[in-house]
Chain A
Amino acid sequence: MAVISRGFFGRRREENPDLPPGQYLTEDFPVLSAGPTPVVDTADWGFTIETESGLVTTWTWEQLKALPIEDIHTDIHCVTRWSKFGTSWRGVSLDTLFKDIDTTNEYVMAHSYGGYTTNMPLADLLGGKAWIAFEFDGKDLEPEHGGPARLLIPHLYFWKSAKWIRGLRMHSRDDPGFWEQNGYHIYGDPWLEQRYW
């Protein structure tokens, strides 16, 4: 039984079916990062997928940009409770990147420049649900938002959309990444409010 807060009536009363439970809308684009923003030059940038056989597939910046680029319009939801509707991104689908990858492992650990990690099932990266994004709102992605490139998995809380992405490694188990070891949920579905352990 919830405690009624004396004198509280709330402001944002409209029921919005696009807003997951416990979220509020923002026009801002807040920043959540655990440490300093890494500086990554696209000349030195590389993206890799490493499978259980030890095989590493690498894309340079030019190779990534030469792949089919998609326009993505999506809502995003941060575990710290803000949601932002109708964001515009450009990037390469993970379906494209995984096309020739041979793996039977079902889980992925994303690794970032700066050491950040986050985990997810492979199924959440495929089927038109996830991208390596390098443009936001018509401009190159800014470093504090993950530039030059970040993972974009908008159907999960946004900490899964690893900034400064440098690679994915296949795992046989759903091992926890950085925030998943520090209090956040192993999967992070905003519609189920999977925020914390």
Chain B
Amino acid sequence: MSGVWKVGVVTETHTETASARSILITIPDWPGNIAGQHVDVRLTAPDGYTAVRSYSLASAGSAPQVQLAVDKLPDGEVSPYLVDELRAGDELELRGPLGGWFVWRPTDTAPVQLIGGGSGIVPLMAMIRSHQDSGSTVPFRLLYSVRTPEDVFFVDELRALGASPTIDITFVYTRQAPVDWPVLPGRVNRDAMEASTFAASDAPSVFVCGPTGFVETVADILVELGHNPNTVKTERFGGK
């Protein structure tokens, strides 16, 4: 049941960016999860005070080890602890997996267009890994918007995927691009999306995840480009 708190043990942490890191957690009674699902994480202070937040999983499948990738919010209560304090050997309480909408299953047959902004890559990474692990030959494309090259999550893994015949990855840099990058930094726009994402006529399943403003912009362009709104799934974070 998703409603029961499970105790996991942190096995490893990795720095992803200056403000984010990924956390590997082994949960002995983890039932497995579908790519795109999330978990609740509960922290408890010595006096019993608790704080709970939801985080997308970067991992998918049946293994008892799951991966979170958490970006630190400057005024956050839970994310600074997860990014700066938590370390290997610590116990962590989780509940899940949760959510049955923003998910991709290896049995799905439509082409998949992933569009992520910043830490919005996390649930999309779970889908990419599930796709790779399952041997699915459904074509995947990822459009990944980041401020600078230093803000890319999972950078080595994404670079290695450049050789994969079943996924095509395009980066968009909004503030600062690599030195030899062919286009100036700028936000995702209609031209960039027409040039590098599946057309509506390819009938893709589209998953968009990122800050609210990014998701609103991208989803509006997708509808303008003719995508059926029912094929566009979104997950937003933050206010506006």
Which residues of A come within 8 Å of B, CB atoms? 2-13, 22, 24, 26-38, 80-81, 114-115, 144, 178-179, 181-183, 196-197
Cβ 8 A contact of B45, one of A4, A38, A196 = A4
In the complex, the chain B residue whose C-beta lies closest to that of A84 is B239
Q: Which residues of B contact A35 (CB under 8 A)?
A: 219, 229-230, 232-234
Q: Which residues of B contact A115 (CB under 8 A)?
A: 229-230
Do the beta carbons of B236 and A30 come within 8 Å of each other? yes
| Interface secondary structure of B, over-half rule | mixed
Q: Which residues of B contact A26 (CB under 8 A)?
A: 239
Q: Which residues of A contact B102 (CB under 8 A)?
A: 34
In the complex, per-residue mask of B29-50: 1 if CB is within 8 Å of any chain A CB, else 0: 0000000000000111110111
Do the beta carbons of B234 and A34 come within 8 Å of each other? yes
| Interface secondary structure of A, over-half rule | loop
- Could you pull out 16 A-B pairs where Cβ atoms are within 8 angstroms? A3-B44, A3-B91, A5-B44, A5-B81, A8-B43, A9-B45, A9-B46, A24-B51, A24-B77, A31-B216, A34-B234, A37-B216, A37-B220, A115-B230, A144-B216, A181-B100
| Other 18 A-B pairs with CB < 8 A, given A3-B7, A9-B45, A13-B49 | A5-B43, A5-B44, A6-B85, A8-B43, A8-B81, A8-B85, A22-B52, A28-B239, A28-B240, A29-B239, A31-B216, A35-B233, A36-B223, A36-B232, A115-B229, A178-B101, A181-B100, A182-B101
B212 touches A (CB below 8 Å): yes
Q: Which residues of A contact B127 (CB under 8 A)?
A: none
Interface centre among A28, A31, A37 (most CB of B within 10 A): A31
- Alpha-carbon distance between A30 and B229 when the two chains are bound, in angstroms: 21
Q: Which residues of A contact B51 (CB under 8 A)?
A: 8, 10, 12, 24
B222 touches A (CB below 8 Å): yes
Do the beta carbons of B239 and A36 come within 8 Å of each other? no
In the complex, the chain B residue whose C-beta lies closest to that of A9 is B45
What's the minimum C-beta distance from B94 to chain A, rounded to whole angstroms?
10
Do the beta carbons of A33 and B236 come within 8 Å of each other? yes
In the complex, the chain A residue whose C-beta lies closest to that of B223 is A36
- Alpha-carbon distance between A28 and B76 when the two chains are bound, in angstroms: 13
What's the minimum C-beta distance from A42 to chain B, rounded to whole angstroms?
19
Q: Which residues of B contact A13 (CB under 8 A)?
A: 49
In the complex, per-residue mask of B136-163: 1 if CB is within 8 Å of any chain A CB, else 0: 0000000000000000000000000000
In the complex, the chain B residue whose C-beta lies closest to that of A11 is B77
Q: Which residues of B contact A32 (CB under 8 A)?
A: 236
Do the beta carbons of B229 and A36 come within 8 Å of each other? yes
B182 touches A (CB below 8 Å): no
In the complex, the chain B residue whose C-beta lies closest to that of A115 is B230
B168 touches A (CB below 8 Å): no
Q: Which residues of B contact A2 (CB under 8 A)?
A: 5, 42, 44, 48, 50, 93
Q: Which residues of A contact B237 (CB under 8 A)?
A: 30
- Alpha-carbon distance between A48 and B99 when the two chains are bound, in angstroms: 30
- Alpha-carbon distance between A35 and B229 when the two chains are bound, in angstroms: 7
What's the minimum C-beta distance from A92 to chain B, rounded to whole angstroms?
26
Do the beta carbons of B236 and A31 come within 8 Å of each other? yes
Do the beta carbons of A6 and B90 come within 8 Å of each other? yes
In the complex, the chain A residue whose C-beta lies closest to that of B44 is A2
Q: Which residues of A contact B54 (CB under 8 A)?
A: 80-81
Considering only residues 187-231 of chain B, those with a C-beta below 8 Å from chain A are 212, 216, 219-220, 222-223, 229-230
Do the beta carbons of B90 and A144 come within 8 Å of each other? no
What's the minimum C-beta distance from A86 to chain B, rounded to whole angstroms?
16
